[in-house]
Structure 1
Amino acid sequence: MAHHCDCEYDHKHESGSVQTDRYHEAFNRFEPALSDVQTTETVNTLLEKHFQENFTPEVLKNIHGCIDLTSLTSLDTKESIWKMVDTVNDFEGTRPDVPNVAAICTYPLFVETVKQALTAQNVKIASVAAGFPSSQTFMEVKIAETAMAVMQGADEIDVVINLGYFMEDNFEELTEELQEIKESCRGAHLKVILETGALVSAENIQRASILAMYSGADFIKTSTGKSYPGATIEAAYTMCKAIKTYHSITGNKVGIKISGGVRTAEDAVKYYTIAKEILGEEWLNKELFRIGASSLVSDIEKRLGK
């Protein structure tokens, strides 16, 4: 018996394993993720039951107010970004019953342009940062880029976890990096992109969600919309479940942002339905629910009519 204890003690003091245990301890506080097949079945059942009741003008209005209107292309210019901001300014007050978008999201280079152009009230300025979309740059560069975007006027920062670290179980460096980035956000909110299309399995998505939340993420976000499949209903379900458990453990509410391929009102309502069923009404506002999109805004406005 005594011998057994010694072994356990020795094992704990091997280099690195204490850290590893800390992460697995966190993972173990959560119910195991459903299998991918179970996740799909569960999601389909929820949508069959509840999609129709949520496909209403009222819900579409709410979703409109939760959109991060986004442009992230290599061809963005000050002029094209200014025009995008103008559409938000022009919408202001035209439909008192429809809230304006939640935020405008661009590359760091255009934060200043958005700040100059934006006259609409209560619309946040969001910037991607930290080596977006691959996240494969030096931690110092990530921290500096984040700090500079905030200095230029960003209220929110969207960054990608280091998937390379994740895939080799290097949770220590992954979380340290996120914590440093979070610190350089100062007062800005941090949205952590998991790139669910690269993580593929529900188990990976759940683990990445847990690591991001314990590292100080204000939101966890599905995808970059670049080079990997975008958001899926299954990924959103797994993330919502993790957010719910995290809230029950810590009392902290983390938001969810859906992005990558959400183009129609139908798509948006599906994600809204999942968030509503798993997290409840209290999550269905722009403080805790976002959809990153470009063409979704005009689709919703078309559905609502003038």
Structure 2
Amino acid sequence: MTTAAAERTAQLPQVAEPRNPGMDLDMDWVRGVQANTSAIERRAATLPGRRSVKKAHQAAWLLRAISCIDLTTLSGDDTEARVRRLCAKARQPVAPALLEALGMERLTVGAVCVYHDMVAAAVEALEGSGIPVAAVSTGFPAGLSPFHLRLAEIGESVKAGAQEIDIVISRRHVLGGNWQALYDEMHAFRAACGAAHVKAILATGELGTLRNVARASLVCMMAGADFIKTSTGKESVNATLPVSLVMVRAIREYHERTGIRIGYKPAGGISKAKDALVYLSLMKDELGDRWLRPDLFRFGASSLLGDIERQLEHYVSGAYSAGYRHAMG
């Protein structure tokens, strides 16, 4: 993938694929899903060494990674001023001089992700940019608020202008094997989102087994999820390569059976450029080039962008810059 190729697909085609209409819950399919943990872990362990991209190719892959970042702030001390600064960074994630040296005219991140209270500020700050606002919802991160309030929260965020809603599932449904309850919950969340795309956060670090991850992924897709996402970023274990391998293979199987492409979002703990390259190579190997675009792949990250900028500056200048030169806002 060259720098020029990265530029052609860097801008977000927000609705480049048909929405996932979902399907009836197929319990035979769900029960038939298994996960060979030892084989999955062996395969995942080979991923960091399978592909090595250098020089111009690495720069192009890193530019693609930037276009797939959901630039995120989910802190209790978030302010509208902080969100506006983050949105300015989303509009111009890399210094203009550096972009020019790389042969890029314009580059933006995939989305800006915030709590509901910050949606209006983010929408205003991103007006005219084409960058969508994603809101975490449904009692994020635990998902334990009353169900009617979780539905209402989705509605309020959509009304405020959020184009994407990151919902959290009820982990107890997975841990108890109550797949009908998980399906019904996800189906209701999907309906409440209306035209807004919905990302289902599985909180994989709390699901116990890789088989649970695989089955929860499948049920959420059956119920209409447009994306499946690993984590809230608040769990003790967030995105991992074994979990990602299980989830992307569930996406592949769903596409093979239905013809519908579902997006994937690893989130939490991805902070280094080299990690981004591994996840991009995983997507290319398992799902193909179509899943290397921001309408089907996102990183949930905040600090990742700064490290990618440092690597790009090293490519252009031959020297690493200090981290403070690439602040988020």
- Alignment TM-score, normalising by the size of structure 2: 0.81
Over 3 Å counting, the alpha-carbon distance change for 1:182 and 1:266 in structure 2 is same
| SS of residue in 1 equivalent to 2:87 | helix
Deviation at 1:52, TM superposition (A): 4.2
| SS of residue in 2 equivalent to 1:126 | strand
Q: Is the 8 A contact 2:47 2:278 kept in 1?
A: no
Measured in 1, the distance between the counterparts of 2:45 and 2:92 equals 38
Letter in 2 for 1:42: R
Residue 292 of structure 1 aligns with which residue? 300
Aligned residues: 284
Q: Is the 8 A contact 1:220 1:256 kept in 2?
A: yes
Deviation at 1:120, TM superposition (A): 6.0
Q: Trace 1:104-253 onto structure 2 (pairs within 5 A).
A: 104-119=112-127, 121-253=129-261
Q: Is the 8 A contact 2:93 2:107 kept in 1?
A: no
Letter in 1 for 2:91: N
Unaligned runs of 5+ in 2: 1-24, 317-329
Give the one of 87, 98, 103 matched to 2:89: 87
Letter in 2 for 1:68: D
Measured in 1, the distance between the counterparts of 2:72 and 2:90 equals 12
For residues 171-218 of structure 1, what are the alpha-carbon distances to aligned partners after superposition, in whole Å with 9 as ceiling and x for unaligned? Answer: 222211111111111110000011111124211110110111001000
Unaligned runs of 5+ in 1: 1-21
Q: Is the 8 A contact 1:43 1:274 kept in 2?
A: no
Q: Does 1:263 align with 2:271?
A: yes
Letter in 2 for 1:26: W
Measured in 1, the distance between the counterparts of 2:283 and 2:218 equals 17
Over 3 Å counting, the alpha-carbon distance change for 1:198 and 1:53 in structure 2 is farther
Measured in 2, the distance between the counterparts of 1:304 and 1:117 equals 26
Measured in 2, the distance between the counterparts of 1:114 and 1:254 equals 26
Letter in 2 for 1:114: A
Give the one of 55, 71, 74 matched to 1:72: 74
- Alignment TM-score, normalising by the size of structure 1: 0.87
| SS of residue in 1 equivalent to 2:108 | coil
User: Considering only aligned residues, what root-mean-square deviation do their CA atoms show, in Å?
Assistant: 2.0
Residue 38 of structure 2 aligns with which residue? 37
Deviates more, 1:61-70 or 1:134-143: 134-143
Q: Is the 8 A contact 1:88 1:120 kept in 2?
A: no
Letter in 2 for 1:27: V
Deviation at 1:220, TM superposition (A): 0.3
Q: Trace 1:7-46 onto structure 2 (pairs within 5 A).
A: 23-28=26-31, 30=33, 32-33=34-35, 35-46=36-47
Greater RCO structure (CA 8 Å; 6+ sep): 2
Measured in 2, the distance between the counterparts of 1:51 and 1:229 equals 27
| SS of residue in 1 equivalent to 2:194 | coil
Letter in 2 for 1:122: G
Over 3 Å counting, the alpha-carbon distance change for 1:100 and 1:89 in structure 2 is closer
Residue 49 of structure 1 aligns with which residue? 50
Measured in 2, the distance between the counterparts of 1:260 and 1:45 equals 21
For residues 116-139 of structure 1, what are the alpha-carbon distances to aligned partners after superposition, in whole Å with 9 as ceiling and x for unaligned? Answer: 112462211100001111111222
Over 3 Å counting, the alpha-carbon distance change for 1:118 and 1:88 in structure 2 is same
Structure of larger gyration radius: 1
- Give % identity: 34
Q: Is the 8 A contact 2:203 2:235 kept in 1?
A: no
Deviation at 1:168, TM superposition (A): 1.3
Q: Is the 8 A contact 2:238 2:269 kept in 1?
A: yes
Over 3 Å counting, the alpha-carbon distance change for 1:135 and 1:296 in structure 2 is same
